[in-house]
Amino acid sequence: MDNRPIGIMDSGVGGLTVACVLKEKYPNEKFIFIGDTARNPYGNKSPEEVTFFAEEMKAFLAGKQVKMIIAACNTITFSAVSYTHLRAHE
């Protein structure tokens, strides 16, 4: 059994809703949440900026030895540059 936590990243605190649902569905899992409240909202940022921010959060979570990372931010999820770039590093 993989006891490493699951990482969740968001541009703010909205992703805490995702974290709560996941905690209900998977009560034996551990979670690490990072919300970038210092630079949100992401909607007015360029795809390159969103990519940079997402990479920073991804690196933070990877440093915590997470077994997977969930992007709970629509802007990260739907930004073509961010999505392609993040997936390339799986």
pLDDT, tens digit only, all 90 positions of the chain: 899 999 999 999 999 999 999 999 999 999 999 999 999 999 899 888 998 999 899 999 999 999 999 999 988 887 755 556 666 655
Sheet holding 6-10, edge to edge: 31-35, 6-10, 68-71
How far is residue 14 from each of residues 2, 42, 55, 64, 84, measured CA to CA in Å? Answer: 27, 12, 19, 22, 23
Residue-level pLDDT at 36: 96
Residue-level pLDDT at 1: 85
Both structure tokens of 67: 């077994």
Both structure tokens of 65: 């030895």
